[in-house]
Structure 1
Amino acid sequence: MSQAQPVRPRLQAALNGDRDHPAAPRTPRDIAAQARAAVTAGARSLHLHPYDDDGQQTFAAEPCAATLLAVPAACPGIPISLSTSADVEPDSRRRMALVEAWTELPDLVTANQGEVGIVELCEFLATRGIGIEAGLLSLDDARRFIAAGIAPRCVRAMVEPLDADPEDAFAQAQAIEQALAEAGISLEQVHHGDGIASWAANRRAIPRGHGIRTGLEDTPLLPDGRTAKGNGDLVAAAASMLGWPDGSKRPESFP
């Protein structure tokens, strides 16, 4: 873990996921290089998906450890969040076994609240001192999260509507935020979406005081519709939206 000090989040970079893009990094070395570019552009937290030698996303201990050693070496002090998505391992028991075998630990994980076995996974990770980012992809996810009662074990809520249409993504984010507020959940929030709609989610979040996320996992497109060359371009665009065009107003890292 990077042992970064907690401050309010503003900008997280999601470096890869399953995005089909020439710059989407897969190896520890490439992930570290893209991480460095994202941090240079303004990211103050990193979310990533380790890959195995066959180019497949994995929770296996060895490739996760290799990535978790490479990225902090390139970006010291920057908190790292790993995926725990069921898209990587659909079998919840198998996922738990793989995560239990981790030898290097991330600062954070993103845990999608609509998945089978996610509450048990969150409870286990919390015992290991790993921060939980509660992934809320829909209003139903938010309702499940509220009902589960695990908000006190989480460090923030990731409001991440997957709607392709920007207006729909905007409305979904609004509904999720309202549900959390009505439930009395005051966790910090980081907002993003998918594709070009991700920028709509970002724009809505900024004046409301929330953090935002961008990167090749979320979108290959810049706000004007051009294809980004890499994570650095996307983070620079998000930093500009936040008012950091020259980097002079960037905050410190957040866990």
Structure 2
Amino acid sequence: MSVSGGGVGGTRARVLQAALNGSRGAADGAAVPLSPGDLVRAARETVAAGAGEVLVHPRTPCGRESLSPRVVGPLLEEMRGAGVRVPLTVPAGVAAEQDPAGRLERVRSWTVLPDRAAVPFAEPGARELARALLERGVAVDAVVPMGGGAGPEPLARFLEWAPPDPARVRLVAELAEADPALVAGLRWLPPVPVVLFGRDSAAWPVLRLAARCGAGTRIGVAQVLHLPDGRAARSNAELVAAALDVEGAAGSATGTAWSR
């Protein structure tokens, strides 16, 4: 079985999502956008560089991740008002709200909706939260860690879930390393789009693996602070441009990791 369009058996163009900030802060260097204005500029620059989607972690003025409608809504409005026309994703996990019931309350109170929300399936209440998002019309990225001691439970939790709108669900697998064996088992998944990504030392090897598989991928300072040649990245846009170059070089073997 092969992957096309970032999904098993799909037909859409492969997704490259720019992850603008994640858990990074000022101590991680000047490439990390901090203020809403910085995030808006970073989003515009990454789209101009070729990103097809943007993932942004909304933060309070003191730097804390938040699901509050007073934090999420204005940032999304500012990005869209600045001409960012690609799909916008926000995370909906423990880092922004510890309590599962609190997360549900927050997303149900949103007045401005993102296009997608990333739901970590390693965290409690993931299926209920994902269902609530779909009911609000927000597509879901089900984030599942694989390898590195993550265990099979998050993927099993995703596979056991029966979403009310499966066409609006995507599996986002965070790979601890670029091991084709981790990806091979995904060929038995239901026909949902798949995005693969890694962090830090795994980021670029996993991106190359995603290109060979024909899967979507994610890059940005949230994932890695260095370019493939080891130089410090100056911006998210520079990482996106490098990712497109890497994908072009690696894409000649597209589909091999998914073949039966």
Question: Which bracket does the TM-score occupy, shorter chain normalised?
Answer: 0.7 to 0.9
Match of 2:74 among 66, 71, 94: 66
Where 1:17 maps in the other structure, the secondary structure is coil
Match of 1:106 among 114, 119, 125: 114
Give the deviation of 1:92 after TM superposition.
0.9
2:4 aligned residue: none
Q: What is the alpha-carbon distance in structure 2 between the residues aligned to residue 125 and residue 89 of structure 1? A: 15
2:224 aligned residue: 219
2:185 aligned residue: 179
Q: What is the alpha-carbon distance in structure 2 between the residues aligned to residue 26 and residue 12 of structure 1? A: 19
2:153 aligned residue: 140
Q: What is the alpha-carbon distance in structure 2 between the residues aligned to residue 222 and residue 122 of structure 1? A: 33
CA contact (8 A) 1:196 1:222 kept: no
CA contact (8 A) 2:116 2:141 kept: yes
Q: Mean Cα displacement is larger for which, 47-56 or 140-149?
A: 140-149
Amino acid of the structure 1 residue aligned with 2:37: R
1:129 aligned residue: 137
Q: What is the alpha-carbon distance in structure 1 between the residues aligned to residue 83 and residue 232 of structure 2? A: 25
CA contact (8 A) 1:134 1:154 kept: no
Gapped regions of structure 2 (runs ≥ 5) = 1-10, 147-151, 250-260
Where 1:191 maps in the other structure, the secondary structure is strand
Amino acid of the structure 1 residue aligned with 2:169: V
Number of aligned residue pairs: give it: 230
Correspondence list, 1:180-219, <5 A: 180-182=186-188, 184-219=189-224
Give the deviation of 1:7 after TM superposition.
4.0
Correspondence list, 1:1-255, <5 A: 7-19=12-24, 20-138=28-146, 139-150=152-163, 152=166, 154-161=168-175, 163=176, 169-171=177-179, 174-175=181-182, 177-182=183-188, 184-243=189-248
Amino acid of the structure 1 residue aligned with 2:214: G
* Cα deviation digits, residues 86-143 of structure 1 (max 9, x gap): 1222211111111111110000011111110110011111011111111111243212
Amino acid of the structure 1 residue aligned with 2:84: P
Give the deviation of 1:153 after TM superposition.
5.7
Gapped regions of structure 1 (runs ≥ 5) = 1-5, 164-168, 245-255
1:250 aligned residue: none
Give the deviation of 1:149 after TM superposition.
3.2
Q: TM-score, normalised by structure 2?
A: 0.82
RMSD between superposed Cα atoms in Å? 1.9
Q: TM-score, normalised by structure 1?
A: 0.84
Q: 1:110 to 1:92 in 2, by over 3 A?
A: same
Amino acid of the structure 2 residue aligned with 1:193: G
CA contact (8 A) 2:119 2:141 kept: yes
Q: What is the alpha-carbon distance in structure 2 between the residues aligned to residue 108 and residue 212 of structure 1? A: 15
Q: Percent identity?
A: 31
1:253 aligned residue: none
Structure 1 segments (4+ residues) deviating >4 Å = none
Q: Mean Cα displacement is larger for which, 79-88 or 16-25?
A: 16-25
Q: 1:54 to 1:190 in 2, by over 3 A?
A: same
* Cα deviation digits, residues 37-90 of structure 1 (max 9, x gap): 111111010011001111211111111111101112234321001111212222
